[in-house]
Structure 1
Amino acid sequence: MSMSAIEVSGEKVKVMWDKRLLEIFCDICIKEILKGNRPGTHFTKDGWLKIMTNFEKETGKAFSQRQLKNRWDALKKEWKAWKKLKGEDTGLGWNPIKRTVDALDDWWESRLKVVLEAQKFRTLGIDPEFEGKLD
Protein backbone atom coordinates (compact mmCIF):
# COMPACT_ATOMS: atom_id res chain seq x y z
CA MET A 1 0.00 0.00 0.00
CA SER A 2 1.22 3.48 -0.81
CA MET A 3 0.72 6.53 1.31
CA SER A 4 1.00 10.22 0.61
CA ALA A 5 1.08 13.06 3.10
CA ILE A 6 -1.47 15.83 2.91
CA GLU A 7 -2.10 18.99 4.91
CA VAL A 8 -5.29 19.34 6.91
CA SER A 9 -5.48 22.53 8.95
CA GLY A 10 -1.69 22.68 9.20
CA GLU A 11 -1.24 19.01 10.15
CA LYS A 12 0.12 16.30 7.91
CA VAL A 13 -2.30 13.41 7.55
CA LYS A 14 -1.51 10.11 5.83
CA VAL A 15 -3.87 9.01 3.08
CA MET A 16 -4.03 5.26 2.67
CA TRP A 17 -4.21 4.15 -0.96
CA ASP A 18 -5.14 0.51 -1.24
CA LYS A 19 -5.41 -1.49 -4.46
CA ARG A 20 -9.15 -0.79 -4.75
CA LEU A 21 -8.79 2.99 -4.39
CA LEU A 22 -5.93 3.05 -6.91
CA GLU A 23 -7.96 1.10 -9.45
CA ILE A 24 -11.00 3.35 -9.03
CA PHE A 25 -8.76 6.42 -9.33
CA CYS A 26 -7.13 5.08 -12.52
CA ASP A 27 -10.49 4.16 -14.06
CA ILE A 28 -11.84 7.66 -13.37
CA CYS A 29 -8.71 9.29 -14.81
CA ILE A 30 -8.90 7.07 -17.92
CA LYS A 31 -12.53 8.16 -18.48
CA GLU A 32 -11.55 11.83 -18.24
CA ILE A 33 -8.63 11.32 -20.64
CA LEU A 34 -10.97 9.61 -23.14
CA LYS A 35 -13.43 12.52 -22.80
CA GLY A 36 -10.64 14.90 -23.84
CA ASN A 37 -10.12 16.47 -20.40
CA ARG A 38 -6.36 16.00 -20.63
CA PRO A 39 -5.57 17.64 -23.96
CA GLY A 40 -1.83 17.91 -23.28
CA THR A 41 0.21 16.75 -20.31
CA HIS A 42 -2.23 18.04 -17.67
CA PHE A 43 -5.89 17.59 -16.83
CA THR A 44 -8.12 20.62 -17.40
CA LYS A 45 -9.74 22.39 -14.44
CA ASP A 46 -13.02 20.69 -15.40
CA GLY A 47 -11.23 17.34 -15.66
CA TRP A 48 -9.93 17.60 -12.08
CA LEU A 49 -13.36 18.67 -10.86
CA LYS A 50 -14.94 15.59 -12.45
CA ILE A 51 -12.19 13.35 -11.07
CA MET A 52 -12.74 14.70 -7.52
CA THR A 53 -16.54 14.42 -7.80
CA ASN A 54 -16.55 10.91 -9.28
CA PHE A 55 -13.89 9.69 -6.85
CA GLU A 56 -15.98 10.84 -3.89
CA LYS A 57 -19.14 9.36 -5.45
CA GLU A 58 -17.51 5.95 -5.98
CA THR A 59 -15.42 5.69 -2.82
CA GLY A 60 -17.17 7.92 -0.30
CA LYS A 61 -13.83 9.66 0.24
CA ALA A 62 -13.48 13.38 -0.41
CA PHE A 63 -9.92 14.09 -1.53
CA SER A 64 -8.71 17.51 -2.60
CA GLN A 65 -7.34 18.18 -6.08
CA ARG A 66 -3.88 18.44 -4.52
CA GLN A 67 -4.19 14.98 -2.90
CA LEU A 68 -5.32 13.40 -6.17
CA LYS A 69 -2.65 15.25 -8.16
CA ASN A 70 0.01 14.05 -5.68
CA ARG A 71 -1.18 10.47 -6.21
CA TRP A 72 -1.18 10.98 -9.99
CA ASP A 73 2.41 12.30 -9.90
CA ALA A 74 3.58 9.47 -7.62
CA LEU A 75 1.95 6.84 -9.86
CA LYS A 76 3.56 8.41 -12.93
CA LYS A 77 6.98 8.31 -11.25
CA GLU A 78 6.52 4.66 -10.22
CA TRP A 79 5.29 3.81 -13.69
CA LYS A 80 8.37 5.33 -15.34
CA ALA A 81 10.67 3.39 -12.98
CA TRP A 82 8.72 0.16 -13.67
CA LYS A 83 8.96 0.59 -17.45
CA LYS A 84 12.66 1.43 -17.19
CA LEU A 85 13.23 -1.64 -14.99
CA LYS A 86 11.60 -3.98 -17.50
CA GLY A 87 13.25 -2.18 -20.39
CA GLU A 88 13.16 -3.98 -23.71
CA ASP A 89 13.12 -7.39 -22.06
CA THR A 90 10.26 -9.55 -23.27
CA GLY A 91 9.10 -12.88 -21.96
CA LEU A 92 9.53 -11.95 -18.32
CA GLY A 93 7.33 -14.01 -16.06
CA TRP A 94 4.98 -12.82 -13.35
CA ASN A 95 4.80 -14.51 -9.97
CA PRO A 96 1.20 -14.07 -8.77
CA ILE A 97 2.04 -15.30 -5.27
CA LYS A 98 4.97 -12.94 -4.69
CA ARG A 99 3.35 -10.34 -6.99
CA THR A 100 6.63 -9.54 -8.69
CA VAL A 101 8.57 -10.11 -11.91
CA ASP A 102 9.74 -13.71 -12.05
CA ALA A 103 13.36 -13.37 -13.08
CA LEU A 104 16.73 -14.74 -12.06
CA ASP A 105 18.82 -12.93 -9.46
CA ASP A 106 21.36 -12.06 -12.17
CA TRP A 107 18.67 -10.19 -14.12
CA TRP A 108 17.58 -8.28 -11.01
CA GLU A 109 21.14 -7.37 -10.07
CA SER A 110 22.01 -6.07 -13.51
CA ARG A 111 18.70 -4.16 -13.95
CA LEU A 112 18.81 -2.58 -10.48
CA LYS A 113 22.27 -1.18 -11.20
CA VAL A 114 20.67 0.75 -14.06
CA VAL A 115 17.37 1.63 -12.36
CA LEU A 116 18.16 2.31 -8.69
CA GLU A 117 14.66 3.66 -7.92
CA ALA A 118 13.11 0.31 -8.92
CA GLN A 119 14.50 -1.59 -5.90
CA LYS A 120 11.05 -1.77 -4.26
CA PHE A 121 9.69 -3.69 -7.25
CA ARG A 122 11.87 -6.66 -6.35
CA THR A 123 9.49 -7.43 -3.46
CA LEU A 124 6.24 -5.99 -4.90
CA GLY A 125 5.73 -5.30 -8.57
CA ILE A 126 2.93 -3.84 -10.63
CA ASP A 127 0.28 -6.41 -11.48
CA PRO A 128 0.04 -7.01 -15.28
CA GLU A 129 -3.69 -6.20 -15.18
CA PHE A 130 -3.01 -2.87 -13.43
CA GLU A 131 -0.10 -2.25 -15.79
CA GLY A 132 -2.59 -1.99 -18.66
CA LYS A 133 -4.46 0.80 -16.87
CA LEU A 134 -1.27 2.70 -16.13
CA ASP A 135 -0.27 2.45 -19.78
Structure 2
Amino acid sequence: MATNLQYGSATLHLTRESSTESVGGYASKTDMSQRKSRIIWDQSLDKTFLDACIHEVTTNRREGSALKPNSWKVVAEKLLKEHGLVVDQKQMRNRYDYYKGKYQAWVKLKSKTGNIYDPLTNKFNLTDKQWETETKLNKIVGALKTVPLLFPDLCTQLFGGSTCTDFDS
Protein backbone atom coordinates (compact mmCIF):
# COMPACT_ATOMS: atom_id res chain seq x y z
CA MET A 1 0.00 0.00 0.00
CA ALA A 2 1.41 3.43 -0.90
CA THR A 3 0.51 6.78 0.63
CA ASN A 4 1.45 10.31 -0.35
CA LEU A 5 1.69 12.83 2.47
CA GLN A 6 1.98 16.57 2.00
CA TYR A 7 4.52 18.05 4.44
CA GLY A 8 4.93 21.74 3.78
CA SER A 9 5.94 22.09 0.14
CA ALA A 10 7.32 18.55 -0.03
CA THR A 11 5.40 15.39 -0.80
CA LEU A 12 6.50 12.24 1.00
CA HIS A 13 5.79 8.88 -0.60
CA LEU A 14 5.40 6.19 2.04
CA THR A 15 4.85 2.51 1.48
CA ARG A 16 3.41 0.05 3.93
CA GLU A 17 4.23 -3.59 3.60
CA SER A 18 1.57 -6.18 4.19
CA SER A 19 2.19 -8.63 7.02
CA THR A 20 2.72 -11.39 4.45
CA GLU A 21 5.73 -9.51 3.09
CA SER A 22 7.43 -9.27 6.46
CA VAL A 23 8.88 -11.76 8.88
CA GLY A 24 8.12 -11.11 12.54
CA GLY A 25 7.38 -7.45 11.85
CA TYR A 26 10.67 -6.93 10.01
CA ALA A 27 11.07 -6.67 6.25
CA SER A 28 12.49 -9.72 4.54
CA LYS A 29 15.98 -9.60 2.97
CA THR A 30 14.62 -8.75 -0.45
CA ASP A 31 12.55 -5.92 0.99
CA MET A 32 15.56 -4.57 2.93
CA SER A 33 17.43 -3.96 -0.32
CA GLN A 34 14.82 -1.38 -1.26
CA ARG A 35 15.00 2.11 0.16
CA LYS A 36 13.56 2.26 3.67
CA SER A 37 10.60 4.55 4.28
CA ARG A 38 10.98 7.36 6.75
CA ILE A 39 8.58 7.11 9.66
CA ILE A 40 6.66 10.19 10.68
CA TRP A 41 6.19 9.76 14.41
CA ASP A 42 2.93 11.29 15.65
CA GLN A 43 1.60 11.33 19.21
CA SER A 44 -0.48 8.19 18.74
CA LEU A 45 2.48 6.23 17.35
CA ASP A 46 4.75 7.58 20.11
CA LYS A 47 2.28 6.57 22.82
CA THR A 48 1.94 3.06 21.42
CA PHE A 49 5.73 2.80 21.16
CA LEU A 50 6.35 4.00 24.73
CA ASP A 51 3.57 1.78 26.15
CA ALA A 52 5.00 -1.25 24.35
CA CYS A 53 8.53 -0.47 25.56
CA ILE A 54 7.31 -0.10 29.16
CA HIS A 55 5.48 -3.43 28.88
CA GLU A 56 8.61 -5.14 27.57
CA VAL A 57 10.87 -3.65 30.24
CA THR A 58 8.38 -4.66 32.93
CA THR A 59 7.97 -8.16 31.50
CA ASN A 60 11.43 -8.99 30.16
CA ARG A 61 13.75 -6.40 31.72
CA ARG A 62 16.48 -4.58 29.82
CA GLU A 63 19.68 -5.54 28.11
CA GLY A 64 22.12 -2.80 28.99
CA SER A 65 20.33 0.51 28.69
CA ALA A 66 17.75 -0.59 26.11
CA LEU A 67 15.45 -3.45 25.26
CA LYS A 68 16.43 -7.04 24.57
CA PRO A 69 16.44 -8.17 20.89
CA ASN A 70 13.23 -10.19 21.31
CA SER A 71 11.55 -7.22 22.98
CA TRP A 72 12.30 -5.02 19.97
CA LYS A 73 10.52 -7.62 17.82
CA VAL A 74 7.47 -7.54 20.10
CA VAL A 75 7.38 -3.73 19.95
CA ALA A 76 7.69 -3.86 16.14
CA GLU A 77 4.79 -6.32 15.96
CA LYS A 78 2.65 -4.03 18.14
CA LEU A 79 3.37 -1.06 15.84
CA LEU A 80 2.54 -3.19 12.81
CA LYS A 81 -0.70 -4.45 14.36
CA GLU A 82 -1.95 -1.10 15.69
CA HIS A 83 -0.61 1.32 13.08
CA GLY A 84 0.16 -0.81 10.03
CA LEU A 85 3.79 0.32 10.01
CA VAL A 86 6.80 -1.90 9.46
CA VAL A 87 9.72 -0.58 11.49
CA ASP A 88 13.14 -2.02 12.04
CA GLN A 89 15.18 -2.15 15.23
CA LYS A 90 17.39 0.78 14.22
CA GLN A 91 14.36 3.05 13.71
CA MET A 92 12.93 2.01 17.08
CA ARG A 93 16.28 2.36 18.86
CA ASN A 94 16.70 5.86 17.39
CA ARG A 95 13.28 6.84 18.74
CA TYR A 96 14.04 5.22 22.10
CA ASP A 97 17.34 7.14 22.32
CA TYR A 98 15.58 10.36 21.27
CA TYR A 99 13.07 10.03 24.11
CA LYS A 100 15.76 8.95 26.58
CA GLY A 101 17.92 11.98 25.79
CA LYS A 102 15.00 14.37 25.90
CA TYR A 103 13.81 12.84 29.18
CA GLN A 104 17.28 13.21 30.74
CA ALA A 105 17.40 16.88 29.71
CA TRP A 106 13.85 17.39 31.00
CA VAL A 107 14.67 15.85 34.41
CA LYS A 108 17.84 17.89 34.78
CA LEU A 109 16.06 21.12 33.89
CA LYS A 110 13.05 20.25 36.05
CA SER A 111 15.29 19.66 39.08
CA LYS A 112 16.58 23.24 39.00
CA THR A 113 15.26 25.47 41.74
CA GLY A 114 13.00 28.45 41.19
CA ASN A 115 9.77 26.76 40.10
CA ILE A 116 10.69 27.03 36.45
CA TYR A 117 8.54 24.05 35.43
CA ASP A 118 4.78 24.39 34.99
CA PRO A 119 3.18 20.92 35.13
CA LEU A 120 -0.14 22.26 33.79
CA THR A 121 1.40 23.36 30.50
CA ASN A 122 4.33 20.91 30.62
CA LYS A 123 6.65 23.81 29.81
CA PHE A 124 9.55 25.58 31.44
CA ASN A 125 9.35 29.26 32.33
CA LEU A 126 12.79 30.52 31.38
CA THR A 127 13.99 33.76 29.88
CA ASP A 128 15.73 33.66 26.50
CA LYS A 129 19.06 34.19 28.29
CA GLN A 130 18.37 31.23 30.61
CA TRP A 131 17.44 29.05 27.62
CA GLU A 132 20.67 30.05 25.91
CA THR A 133 22.73 29.19 29.00
CA GLU A 134 21.02 25.83 29.50
CA THR A 135 21.31 24.95 25.81
CA LYS A 136 25.07 25.59 25.93
CA LEU A 137 25.28 23.01 28.73
CA ASN A 138 23.13 20.46 26.91
CA LYS A 139 21.95 20.97 23.32
CA ILE A 140 18.89 18.75 23.84
CA VAL A 141 17.53 21.25 26.38
CA GLY A 142 17.00 23.71 23.53
CA ALA A 143 14.42 21.39 21.98
CA LEU A 144 12.33 21.59 25.17
CA LYS A 145 11.83 25.33 24.58
CA THR A 146 9.64 24.77 21.54
CA VAL A 147 8.50 21.15 21.87
CA PRO A 148 7.84 19.89 25.41
CA LEU A 149 8.51 16.31 26.38
CA LEU A 150 5.48 14.31 25.30
CA PHE A 151 4.16 11.80 27.82
CA PRO A 152 6.43 12.70 30.75
CA ASP A 153 4.71 10.10 32.95
CA LEU A 154 5.41 7.31 30.45
CA CYS A 155 9.00 8.48 30.05
CA THR A 156 9.45 8.46 33.82
CA GLN A 157 8.17 4.87 33.93
CA LEU A 158 10.47 3.82 31.11
CA PHE A 159 13.63 5.75 31.94
CA GLY A 160 13.20 6.94 35.53
CA GLY A 161 15.02 4.18 37.35
CA SER A 162 17.49 3.26 34.64
CA THR A 163 19.26 6.40 33.53
CA CYS A 164 21.81 8.78 34.84
CA THR A 165 20.46 12.32 34.65
CA ASP A 166 23.65 14.09 35.67
CA PHE A 167 25.46 14.54 32.39
CA ASP A 168 26.80 17.54 30.51
CA SER A 169 26.86 16.57 26.84
TM-score, scaled relative to structure 2: 0.61
CA RMSD of aligned residues (A): 2.6
Task: Tell me, yes or no, if the aligned pair for 2:101 and 2:140 is still in contact at 8 Å.
Answer: no
Deviations, residues 18-68 of structure 1 (Å, cap 9, x unaligned): 111111100000000110242542322221121111121121111112211
Counterpart position of 1:76: 100
- Correspondent of 2:62 among 25, 38, 61: 38
Task: Tell me, yes or no, if the aligned pair for 1:95 and 1:102 is still in contact at 8 Å.
Answer: no
Larger radius of gyration: 2
SS in 2 for 1:35: helix
Find the aligned partners of 1:116 and 1:31 in 2 and give their Cα distance. Answer: 30
Find the aligned partners of 2:59 and 2:146 in 1 and give their Cα distance. Answer: 36
Give the paired residue count: 125
Q: Which runs of 5+ in 1 are unaligned?
A: 1-7
TM-score, scaled relative to structure 1: 0.73
SS in 2 for 1:54: helix
Task: Tell me, yes or no, if the aligned pair for 1:101 and 1:122 is still in contact at 8 Å.
Answer: yes
Deviations, residues 48-93 of structure 1 (Å, cap 9, x unaligned): 1211111211211111122111211222122222222333337321
Q: Establish whether residue 134 from structure 1 lines up as the match of residue 148 from structure 2.
A: no
Counterpart position of 2:5: none
- Correspondent of 1:115 among 138, 142, 146: 138
Counterpart position of 1:19: 43
Find the aligned partners of 1:134 and 1:95 in 2 and give their Cα distance. Answer: 17
Identity over aligned residues, as a percent?
27
Q: Which runs of 5+ in 2 are unaligned?
A: 1-31, 157-169
Find the aligned partners of 1:29 and 1:113 in 2 and give their Cα distance. Answer: 31
SS in 2 for 1:17: coil
Task: Out of 57-66 and 27-36, give the one that drifted further.
Answer: 57-66
